[in-house]
Structure 1
């Protein structure tokens, strides 16, 4: 095998590897966009107000623009690689990570997303309260002290200490009066 044919094979292998990496990057981009659209749809789907819906759509449009800008950057950097420039793989990763942060920020700053998040937090708190009530009922039926039982005992102890202190003060006054 001549040096020329070895160089061609090395070049072909390198270009093939670049093509594979580029296709993987595009596939990753599509997956990230699909996840983004799904999360956006969940956030905006809860919005009933037309204003909230419009704001949600605008947030999505800004996020979509961020993804398209990242795609352009990726294509430009891939061209740079094909022209022989040394481009670190971390640069490709950073483009997608920064874009994901920017895109999610655009969606998360909308009223629709805030409303959905608030409703979710409310649902979680309600579920937690129901779980606490169920746990207390179960503990009580098994004969164990519950949190409310312990709090009641604590309140009673504080009241007893207050009364004891009042009785001690009265007793001190009676003893002082007897000593005079």
Structure 2
């Protein structure tokens, strides 16, 4: 076939080659279908939860999904064309099939990620994540307090108190210096 295959992996006959090609093609198609199903499920959840805001945002989102869907369909056509080319005797590398799907996934996700709905959903998700992080931090601090350990809040409070004591000490020293100067006169 080609020099890019190690000698031990070069198919010995057409049936083995076709079987291997078909297996990889169907695995790629299955992964594509799973990715699309996951995407549609998440998209559906977002629509049901009302994360799209106004109608303009919803329209933008649907347009992004449409472009992503078109990218997947183009990839499917490319896969069929390349599989046909292979069946007709053209030397088609297995990596080319993988590259078609990887490039398509990048393009499809880019189409979706460029929508205002995705930005709103991302912002909402980040907000929820930060809120959960704050709750987890509070729970961890409470647990550490119960176990008798110093927490970041405790250390910060001690630092603030030390700074305040230092400020007061400097103020007392300044007053004392003024009193001493006044007494020496």
TM-score, length of structure 2 as denominator length: 0.79
Are the aligned partners of 1:40 and 1:107 in contact in 2 as well (CA < 8 Å)? no
Paired residue total: 172
Match of 1:119 in 2: 124
Alignment of 1:81-160 (within 5 A): 81-160=86-165
Whole-angstrom distance in 2 between the partners of 1:21 and 1:142: 56
The equivalent residue for 1:14 is: 17
Shift of 1:171: 3.7
Q: Distance in 2 between matches of 1:166 and 1:43?
A: 60
Q: Which residue of 2 aligns with 1:3?
A: none
2:60 counterpart (47, 55, 63)? 55
In 2, Cα distance between equivalents of 1:146 and 1:29: 48
2:68/2:108 contact within 8 Å kept = yes
Match in the other structure for 2:6: none
Aligned partner of residue 13 in structure 2, secondary structure: helix
The Cα shift of 1:174 comes to: 4.6
| Whole-Å separation in 2 of the counterparts to 1:10 and 1:141 | 71
Determine the C-alpha separation between the residues in 2 that align with 1:135 and 1:108.
35
Which residue, 31, 35, 38 being the options, matches 2:38? 35
Higher helix share: 1
Determine if contact 2:28/2:101 at 8 Å carries over to the other structure: no
- Point out the more displaced range, 114-123 or 57-66: 114-123
The CA distance in 1 between the partners of 2:76 and 2:178, in whole Å, is: 86
CA distance in 2 between counterparts of 1:97 and 1:44 reads 27
| Uncovered stretches (5+) of structure 1, i.e. residues with no partner | 1-8
Q: How far off is 1:47 after superposition?
A: 2.0
Scaled by the length of structure 1, the TM-score of the pair is 0.81
**Consecutive unaligned residues in structure 2, runs of 5 or more:** 1-11
Tell me how far 1:16 sits from its aligned partner: 2.9
Across the aligned residues of Structure 1 and Structure 2, the Cα RMSD in angstroms comes to 2.3
C-alpha contact (below 8 Å) 2:21/2:94 kept by paired residues: no
Q: 1:88 to 1:141 in 2, by over 3 A?
A: same
Give CA deviations for 1:104-144 in whole Å, capped at 9, x if unaligned. 11112212222222111111111222222222223333333
